[in-house]
Chain A
Amino acid sequence: MDTVLLRRWFLAALFPLLGCGLSAVQRGAVTEFSRATATLGATTSAELLRMRAKTIDMNERRLRLGAPTADQPDHTDLDENFDPAVVLVRMQAAEAVQDFGVLLLALVEASEEKPLEEASDRFVQSVRRLGSENRRLSDEQLEAVGKAVQAVGGLIVEAKRARAVKEIVGSSREQVARLLELLEGDLDPGANRLATQYLLTTERLLVAADGGLEGARPQAVEAMRLGMEERNRRDAVLAPAAQAVGRMRAAHARLAEVLEHDEVSLDDVRAFGASVRGLADAARMLR
């Protein structure tokens, strides 16, 4: 049998059993989404910890200013709603989102080329060692079969990869969306959740510092500076972080559609990637 024909026959016989891998568009969408998700998870986690530390810091400064009792924070509860258990649950959620991105990327980018190549070489060598009476294939034909084995292995890998990505992204859609909704609420200063607690503490510090400025006390000046810095950070990092999480929800829904149909616009996924890159830059600058 002709070598090329032999190889084609081998592949053609197996191809219908394998299904298809991810298209270039699907692979690109999953890669962009996964990278941005991993970055957003890490940024969110760091922001939660930072908000807790700064809340304690700001309340400590309010205590030092010696404002009237009604304006003082509870000295036994300086972290207010940022209790360790509350923050831990949210950090675990952010880390689960981060892991989702990292694992999805690892699944899409995992390369099985080398082990398949090794397996193919080994197959060829094994057959070559057979005695001539048992061998019906020429060296050239043997090479072709070896390459076909490698190619089929690659097709099996690609088909399995595609099936797994589609199934997991589709089935996790609601759970990931719920987690993102919760995280978005905690990062949005207007959603009555943790970022609002941070806003409250900041605004209370500014008012307390204003009361202490009349005597030109250095502590009041320091407190005012800290309050203003935290306000800037709230606008520059927290509000965009909440927006980025909102975009991620839209991108995740779009990704599931892309994996189903391969024809949907990727604007949501790209917008999410761009907003996370901007957010990571802002967080680094204001650290």
Chain B
Amino acid sequence: MATLGKSLSRTLVDLTDLLLKEKDPERKKQLRDQHRELAALLQKLVDESVARDTIEYEKATAAVTEANDALKDAKKDLGQVAGAIKKVAKALDLVAKVAAKLG
């Protein structure tokens, strides 16, 4: 389908170029009619694809958002390692103070 779309798009652009260069009014009219027909056909294909993809986008975006949440959690987890070591150090600090008082 993408290949057909590519060739239709290319043909439409080529038709525009021909039409812009053409001087003869009768041939210009023929090209204009062909351009209109081809554009209508291509428009139909686009309308169908865009509507179908919108549902697919919603599904795929939700899945990637979940991956992003996992990345946020992982980063938080790294910070927690340093935090855990700090907590141990703080606990030792308190032990040292208690030990000093008892001593």
**Chain A min CB distance to B8 (Å):** 8
> A76 interface residue, CB < 8 Å from B?
no
We find that the number of chain A residues with CB closer than 8 angstroms to chain B is 72
Q: Are A175 and B5 in contact (CB under 8 A)?
A: no
Closest-by-CB residue of A relative to B59 is A178
Give the contacting residue for B75; candidates A107, A175, A188, A190; CB below 8 A: A107
**Chain A min CB distance to B24 (Å):** 13
CA distance A231 to B65 in the complex (A): 34
Interface string of A197-222 (1 = CB under 8 A from B): 10110011011001100000000000
Q: Are A194 and B50 in contact (CB under 8 A)?
A: yes
Interface string of B16-43 (1 = CB under 8 A from A): 1001100000000000100110010011
Q: Which of A199-250 touch B at CB < 8 Å?
A: 199-200, 203-204, 206-207, 210-211, 231
Q: Are B92 and A192 in contact (CB under 8 A)?
A: no
Closest-by-CB residue of A relative to B58 is A89
Q: A110-B78, A115-B83, A153-B82 are in contact. Are A191 and B2 (CB under 8 A)?
A: yes
Q: Are A119 and B96 in contact (CB under 8 A)?
A: no
Contacts of A178 in B (CB 8 A): 56, 60, 63
Q: A96-B64, A172-B67, A182-B57 are in contact. Are A130 and B85 (CB under 8 A)?
A: no
Give the contacting residue for B5; candidates A71, A125, A133, A190; CB below 8 A: A190
CA distance A204 to B89 in the complex (A): 72
> A100 interface residue, CB < 8 Å from B?
yes
Give the contacting residue for A103; candidates B36, B68, B89, B96; CB below 8 A: B68
**Chain B min CB distance to A96 (Å):** 4
Q: Which of B55-88 touch A at CB < 8 Å?
A: 56-58, 60-61, 63-68, 70-72, 74-75, 77-79, 81-83, 85-86, 88
Q: Are A157 and B81 in contact (CB under 8 A)?
A: yes
Q: Are A199 and B89 in contact (CB under 8 A)?
A: no
**Chain B min CB distance to A114 (Å):** 8
We find that the number of chain B residues with CB closer than 8 angstroms to chain A is 63
Q: Which of A54-89 touch B at CB < 8 Å?
A: 70-71, 81, 85-86, 89
Q: Which of A257-284 touch B at CB < 8 Å?
A: none
Residues of B within 8 A of A (CB): 1-2, 4-7, 9-10, 12-13, 15-16, 19-20, 32, 35-36, 39, 42-43, 45-50, 53-54, 56-58, 60-61, 63-68, 70-72, 74-75, 77-79, 81-83, 85-86, 88-90, 92-93, 95-97, 99-100, 103
26 contacts between A and B (CB under 8 A): A85-B54, A86-B54, A96-B68, A99-B68, A103-B68, A107-B75, A110-B78, A115-B86, A118-B86, A123-B92, A125-B93, A127-B96, A130-B95, A130-B100, A131-B103, A149-B85, A160-B78, A161-B78, A175-B60, A175-B66, A185-B53, A192-B48, A197-B43, A200-B46, A203-B39, A231-B13
